[in-house]
Structure 1
């Protein structure tokens, strides 16, 4: 199971890297917009420095036409590093570009997936990851869990190497449901994980343990 952070915030990535067992960082133009008009390539090179070479870095193209996607992919690989996973929206031009990129050995993440058909095409194109948009699909009354389960079954049936990386979450229950349905990975805003682990009931339980110990032993540490 892979857990990724869906953020372009250098501060958040620096702070959380020593804490959580995350395996990579995903971004898109909307996420990047929150950081302001940063020096694009330098920003992502800095993210790579923070997370190191063993975690994955997924950066999205901006072009929407076939040749433009290939050109954007080349720019990402040249100006960041050749280990970047190029995120490509799963449109007709996107699928064509995915096939060309995979033929050249490029790491590819198929994104903006709302349907089984998109997922099947991405898997058949040999992408490394595909990203179904969990909350957005639910908002359209699409059975997200069924979609993920069908894609996972397709991967197993044909022994494909693609991993399902569910994205677009609004609460931690959706993350759990995606994993239960068969997602191999999830990418989420760091704030979502922090809220889940800092729930009032959890904090209250830990505080009670500490208070009970201190009443008996007068300290907040175990004895030497």
Structure 2
């Protein structure tokens, strides 16, 4: 199971990596627009410096033809590093680009997946991760969890070396349902993952435990103070 942050906000990345078991960072052009770095490549190099080589970094192309996608990918490798997972939208041209990148031995994340058949195409093309858009699928009347379940069954049945990276979340419940349906990884905004710890029952339990301790040993006297 992998928890990935869907952000390039440096403060969010630093805090998220410091506190949570974060295994990578994803981005797309819309996410880049939110942060609006003056120097895109220097910003992404800083993201890499923060997360290290042990975590995955996923950067999306903006070309719409296979040739332009491959040119975008080449520049990303040159400017950031060779270990980046190139995010390729799973269009007709995108599947061609996925095949070409995998023939070069590159890391690829197939994104913008709305249907099972798109996912199957990305699997057979060799993608390392496939990213179904959970909230967007639901918004157009689809069942993202059925999609995840079917694709995970196909991965297991045929032995594909690929992970489902569920993406596009509106609420924490969608993250939980995606993992339950079989996604091996999720990528979610910093704010969505932080809501895991916003349950008032958690803070109340901690307060109750501590009050009992302080009643016994004195106010603000911690275990380390004994």
TM-score over 0.5 for the pair = yes
1:84-111 residue CA offsets vs partner (Å, 9 max, x unmatched): 0000000000001000010011100000
Structure 1 counterpart SS, 2:164: strand
Q: How does 1:58-69 map to 2 (within 5 A)?
A: 58-69=58-69
Moved over 6 A (4+): none
Query: How many angstroms apart in 1 are the aligned matches of 2:167 and 2:22?
Result: 15
Residue number in structure 2 paired with 1:157: 157
Q: How many angstroms does 1:18 deviate by? A: 1.9
Query: How many angstroms apart in 2 are the aligned matches of 1:157 and 1:70?
Result: 31
Number of positions where the alignment pairs a residue of Structure 1 with one of Structure 2: 224
1:95-135 residue CA offsets vs partner (Å, 9 max, x unmatched): 01000010011100000101101100000001000000111
Q: CA RMSD in A?
A: 1.1
Structure 1 counterpart SS, 2:119: helix
1:93 counterpart = 2:87 = no
Structure 2 counterpart SS, 1:5: strand
Which piece of structure 1 moves more, 24-33 or 9-18? 9-18
Query: How many angstroms apart in 1 are the aligned matches of 2:91 and 2:209?
Result: 53
Residue number in structure 1 paired with 2:188: 188
Residue number in structure 1 paired with 2:103: 103
Q: How many angstroms does 1:66 deviate by? A: 1.2
Q: How many angstroms does 1:16 deviate by? A: 2.1
Query: How many angstroms apart in 2 are the aligned matches of 1:177 and 1:118?
Result: 21
Residue number in structure 1 paired with 2:3: 3
Q: Give the gaps of 5 or more residues in structure 2.
A: none
Structure 2 counterpart SS, 1:34: helix
Query: How many angstroms apart in 2 are the aligned matches of 1:166 and 1:67?
Result: 27
Structure 1 counterpart SS, 2:35: coil
Residue number in structure 2 paired with 1:204: 204
Q: Give the gaps of 5 or more residues in structure 1.
A: none
Q: How many angstroms does 1:215 deviate by? A: 2.3
Q: How does 1:43-122 map to 2 (within 5 A)?
A: 43-122=43-122
Structure 2 counterpart SS, 1:142: coil
Q: How many angstroms does 1:54 deviate by? A: 0.7
Q: How many angstroms does 1:75 deviate by? A: 0.6
Residue number in structure 1 paired with 2:138: 138
Residue number in structure 2 paired with 1:29: 29
